[in-house]
């Protein structure tokens, strides 16, 4: 029989050994960083035509077993779409799944009919044509399924990809911009797997309430990849494509980096940071100087001090349950750097901020979660109205707000619950004007998602584009996809 001491030792040895072995090699894993294929579409002048095929497939994510996945023009996740400001986009989407789905252009200003939300379902074997002009500046946006009550599950299966917009300003700044060479999409997602390799979506009702969090981190569909980069300054376009997990990203060697863009595009000036917090659906572009030829690991880790102070009850529960709170995400191998002298510009762009004086309306949105026995019972019975905004759960036949096209509004989002909610608004890029904590880093830029902390109130200033359509609504919702699917969503029309 094992003595207690031997038992503890053997557990420790087991836990420590693999990591030591890997560190001796200097690699997290033998997995290569995957860059999603770039899709520029067929171009004729300003018209750009994309053909997208939503499909199911099989992917080798785990070493010994394959995983059934969904993707767009590939078996898992979407190809990266790229176009310019001023282009007219025509996307022809074909649904080759056996389930109804949609494709939503997250962060893009466009007519409601082209938005790809729950009002534009694509049935199996059917096509959907989405057409819009790109009227917004360079940015890293994304696209994903937005099927009513099924968004969480479908994004988890792989229906998500990046959409990059370029413009003259972004092209003329001397920023790293060679796709897959010194400019990389980094889609971070967390998954759980069943024994047979398939993705394990709902495990219990807690996932519905807290959002589905997985224990394995994927970057562009790969576990712990190593990125062999050649240039001395690289640009990472990071997308938190997870259903519910919030990441505190920083490098293991504590190196600083420059945040250059938020959800809606370039910041006015680069911001130096050693860590960045990204909630689901948030993006940030960062520049990392790897000219020292080292091998930094990007990881999800809270600072000691912060984690001690801010450890929420929920997190405590999770760590008691043995759930991991910290992960290595991917490693950069910069041993073969070629020197290039990309200087970081002092100034990036000038923002055309909506003025506070032009606010024509203020609206209040209270994010609410039912608590107590009602909540437990409802969650277990699969009820879809546990989560509310202003006392109402999402109803696809109800318009909640009517906004005037071209107007400037102040939206106040109040989180009345005990957990953070990343609030997202379709068709706009807003500025955060007030929040309890300091507005810093990527939050200084244009945003389409804002993380509203427990019991916090955040105000955002929005200028609505000119598109109007009295019948077809846009969505606003919590981007914890299980919250969106279970009622924390509303609809607005712009007229």
Q: Which residues of 284-308 are buried (b: 16+ CB within 10 A; e: fewer)?
A: bbbbbbbbeeebbbbbbbbeeeeee
Q: Which of helix, strand or coil describes residue 348?
A: coil
- Closest alpha carbon to 411 in 460, 451, 447: 460
The least distance separating Cu ion from the CB of residue 277, rounded to whole angstroms, comes to 16
Tell me which residue has tokens 């970081």.
344
User: Which sign does the torsion angle of CA 295, 324, 198, 385 carry?
Assistant: negative
The least distance separating Cu ion from the CB of residue 480, rounded to whole angstroms, comes to 4
Select from 447, 477, 483, 486 the one that contacts ligand C2O (CB under 6 A).
Answer: 477
Q: What, of ligand C2O, Cu ion, none, does residue 342 touch, CB below 5 to 8 Å by kind?
A: none
Number of residues in contact with ligand C2O under rule CB under 6 A: 10
**Which region among 21-29, 78-86, 330-338, 475-483 touches ligand C2O (by CB under 6 A)?**
475-483
Structure tokens at 3: 């003595």
294 phi/psi in degrees, rounded to 5: -90, -170
By the rule CB under 6 A, 463 interacts with ligand C2O: no
Q: In the complex with ligand C2O, which residue's Cβ is closer, 421 or 477?
A: 477
- Closest alpha carbon to 486 in 294, 282, 207, 91: 207
Structure tokens at 444: 């200084």
The least distance separating Cu ion from the CB of residue 104, rounded to whole angstroms, comes to 5
User: How far apart (Å, rounded) are the C-alpha atoms in residues 472 and 417?
Assistant: 30
The least distance separating Cu ion from the CB of residue 209, rounded to whole angstroms, comes to 9
Select from 122, 165, 260, 281 the one that contacts ligand C2O (CB under 6 A).
Answer: 281
By the rule CB under 6 A, 426 interacts with ligand C2O: yes
Binding mask 143-182 vs ligand C2O (x if CB under 6 A, - otherwise)?
A: -x-x------------------------------------
Q: Indicate the residue whose CB is closest to ligand C2O.
A: 106
Q: Decide if 121 contacts 218 (C-beta within 8 A).
A: no
By the rule CB under 6 A, 486 interacts with ligand C2O: no
Q: What, of Cu ion, ligand C2O, none, does residue 235 touch, CB below 5 to 8 Å by kind?
A: none
Q: Summarize as ranges the residues that interact with Cu ion (CB under 5 A).
A: 106, 421, 426, 478, 480, 483
Q: What, of Cu ion, ligand C2O, none, does residue 281 touch, CB below 5 to 8 Å by kind?
A: ligand C2O
User: How far apart (Å, rounded) are the C-alpha atoms in residues 259 and 275?
Assistant: 10
User: How far apart (Å, rounded) are the C-alpha atoms in residues 417 and 457?
Assistant: 11
CA neighbours within 13 Å on the CB side: how many for 132? 22
CA neighbours within 13 Å on the CB side: how many for 104? 25
Select from 82, 85, 106, 300 the one that contacts ligand C2O (CB under 6 A).
Answer: 106
Select from 475, 478, 488, 494 the one that contacts ligand C2O (CB under 6 A).
Answer: 475
The least distance separating ligand C2O from the CB of residue 479, rounded to whole angstroms, comes to 6
* DSSP one-letter code for 447: B
Length of the chain, in residues: 495
The least distance separating Cu ion from the CB of residue 491, rounded to whole angstroms, comes to 13
The least distance separating ligand C2O from the CB of residue 229, rounded to whole angstroms, comes to 29
Q: Decide if 105 contacts 145 (C-beta within 8 A).
A: no
Q: In the complex with ligand C2O, which residue's Cβ is closer, 236 or 475?
A: 475
Q: What, of Cu ion, ligand C2O, none, does residue 478 touch, CB below 5 to 8 Å by kind?
A: Cu ion
Q: In the complex with ligand C2O, which residue's Cβ is closer, 207 or 263?
A: 263
- Closest alpha carbon to 250 in 219, 274, 225: 274
Q: Which residues bind ligand C2O (CB under 6 A)?
A: 104, 106, 144, 146, 281, 424, 426, 475, 477, 479
């Amino acid at each position: 029989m094992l003595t207690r001491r031997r038992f503890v030792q053997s557990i420790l040895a087991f836990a420590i050994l693999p990591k030591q072995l890997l560190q001796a090699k200097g690699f997290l894993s033998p997995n290569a960083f995957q860059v999603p294929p770039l899709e520029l579409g067929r171009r004729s002048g300003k018209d750009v035509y994309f053909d997208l095929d939503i499909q199911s497939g099989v992917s080798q994510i785990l070493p010994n077993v394959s995983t059934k996945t969904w993707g767009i023009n590939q078996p898992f996740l979407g190809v990266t779409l790229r176009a310019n400001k001023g282009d007219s986009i025509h996307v022809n989407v074909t649904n080759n799944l056996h389930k109804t789905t949609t494709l939503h252009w997250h962060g893009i200003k466009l007519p409601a009919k082209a938005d790809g939300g729950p009002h534009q379902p694509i049935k199996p074997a059917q096509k959907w044509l989405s057409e819009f002009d790109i009227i917004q500046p360079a940015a890293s946006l994304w696209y994903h399924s937005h099927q009513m009550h099924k968004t969480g599950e479908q994004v988890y299966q792989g229906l998500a990809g990046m959409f990059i917009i370029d413009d003259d300003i972004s092209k003329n700044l001397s920023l790293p911009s060679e796709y897959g060479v010194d400019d990389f999409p980094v889609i971070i997602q967390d998954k759980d797997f069943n024994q047979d390799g398939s993705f394990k979506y709902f495990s219990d009702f807690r996932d519905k309430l807290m959002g589905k969090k997985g224990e394995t981190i994927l970057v562009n569909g790969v576990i712990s990849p190593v990125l062999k980069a050649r240039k001395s300054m690289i640009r990472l376009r990071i997308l938190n494509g997870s259903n519910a997990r919030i990441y505190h990203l920083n490098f293991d060697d504590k190196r600083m980096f420059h945040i250059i863009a938020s959800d809606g595009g370039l910041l006015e000036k680069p911001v130096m940071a050693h860590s960045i917090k990204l909630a689901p659906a948030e993006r940030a572009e960062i520049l990392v100087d790897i000219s020292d030829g080292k091998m930094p690991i990007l990881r999800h880790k809270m600072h000691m001090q912060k984690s001690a102070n801010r450890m929420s009850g929920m997190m405590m529960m999770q760590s008691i349950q043995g759930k991991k709170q910290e992960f290595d995400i991917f490693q950069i191998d910069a041993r073969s750097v070629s020197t290039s002298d990309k200087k970081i510009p002092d100034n990036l762009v000038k923002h055309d901020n909506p003025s506070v004086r032009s606010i024509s309306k203020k609206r209040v949105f209270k994010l609410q979660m039912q608590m107590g026995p009602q909540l437990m019972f409802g969650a277990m019975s699969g009820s879809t109205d546990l989560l509310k905004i202003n006392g109402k759960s999402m109803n696809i036949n109800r318009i909640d707000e009517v906004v005037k096209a071209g107007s400037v509004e102040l939206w106040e989002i109040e989180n009345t619950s005990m957990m953070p909610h990343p609030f997202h608004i379709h068709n706009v890029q807003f500025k955060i004007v007030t929040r309890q904590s300091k507005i810093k880093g990527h939050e200084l830029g244009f945003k389409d998602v804002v993380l509203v902390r427990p019991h916090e109130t955040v105000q955002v200033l929005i200028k609505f584009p000119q598109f109007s359509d009295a019948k077809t609504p846009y969505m606003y919702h919590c981007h914890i996809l299980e919250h969106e699917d279970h009622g924390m969503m509303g609809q607005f029309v712009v007229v």
